[in-house]
Amino acid sequence: MGLDCGGKMGQFILVIINTVFLLMGLGLFIPGIVLQTNIDFVSDEIKPVLDQVSVTGIALGDVVKNLGIGFIIVGVFVFLVAVLGLMGACCKSKCLLTIYAIIVLLILLSQIVVVILWFTMQNQLNSVVKDELTTSLRTNFREDRLNGSNQLSNGWNYIFLSLKCCGVNAVRNGSAGDFANTPNWGSKGSKKIPTSCCIGVTASNYTAPTTCTDNVATGTYYTSGCYDALLNKFDTSRYSNVFLGVGITIIIIEILAIVSSILMCKGNYGEGNLA
């Protein structure tokens, strides 16, 4: 005898699901590579600034720099789990199916926690990161130079040039913005914003007119705040809902995968590897 009706249905669903997971695992390489390309701005000069902020105990610089690598690793893991599921379904191996079901269950529980945290902590996390960046700027910005004695000041200036932004929060016309509260910037003189905030300034030509640095005239400086510019690098506003929707869909599929594994393990055999 072969599989009973429930076992055959479980086998069919497992093959379909794990074929999809196989493709998804390969597909995660693409956003991983894209993210790694987008974070090429995190240079050795900029990373110390981002490391002043921690996300769940991990330095923001490390999170940003390794995010794409994380996608690639997850893609490899999903691919291998899918291969395990396909082998268990096709070979009718109770051992492989049991291991597969346990792994998927652990992944499922982890994803449910992540989705819950996404809903409950997203705004709070954004606020904490933004506040810590603002505090870091106001405390550590000391010099309007790229190769000064203060590493964090250098890093902030490179961030303004690389992301084409000014301050953590957007600077308004004629206003110093976050730079109004930088007590350690002792050499600013009449400047309201640093040279690095001005349009057209480069690392090789680090000069700007007073209409920008002193008067903050319209059209002379970058209008975006660096927090928003950083988020835009990852297209979070565009893709966050998509990622959440995909995550919930995957949770549903994983539940089907676990149920299908159980159905196969309970299938009646006269021969094969399943008992």
pLDDT at 271: 45
| Helix %, strand %, coil % of the chain (to 5) | 65, 0, 35
pTM of the model: 0.64
Please indicate whether residue 50 or residue 211 has the higher confidence score (pLDDT).
211
CA distance 225 to 170: 4
What is the CA 104 to chain-centroid distance, rounded? 23
Among 257, 246, 254, which Cα is nearest to 115's?
246
- Region 100-123 average pLDDT: 76
- Region 130-141 average pLDDT: 89
pLDDT at 63 over 70: no
- Region 118-126 average pLDDT: 64
CA distance 104 to 106: 5
pLDDT at 91 over 80: yes
Map tokens 């005239």 to a residue.
217
207-266 pLDDT per residue, tens: 999 999 999 999 999 999 998 888 777 655 555 565 666 667 777 888 888 888 888 877
146-156 pLDDT per residue, tens: 988 889 999 99
Asked whether the beta carbons of 200 and 244 are under 8 A apart, the reply is: no
Instruction: Identify the bridge partners of residue 59 per DSSP, sorted by sequence position.
Output: 54
Lowest mean pLDDT, pick from 75-79, 103-107, 177-181: 75-79
pLDDT at 1: 39
What is the CA 274 to chain-centroid distance, rounded? 42
Map tokens 């490391």 to a residue.
51
Per DSSP (E only), the strands in the chain are: 54-55, 58-59
Asked whether the beta carbons of 60 and 54 are under 8 A apart, the reply is: yes
Q: Name, of 69-73, 122-126, 130-134, 195-199, the range with top average pLDDT.
A: 195-199
User: In the chain, what is the straight-line distance between the N-terminal and C-terminal CA atoms, in Å?
Assistant: 12
Residue 271 burial (CB < 10 Å; 0-12/13-18/19+)?
exposed
Asked whether the beta carbons of 161 and 196 are under 8 A apart, the reply is: yes
Q: Which helix (H) or strand (E) holds 251?
A: helix 236-265
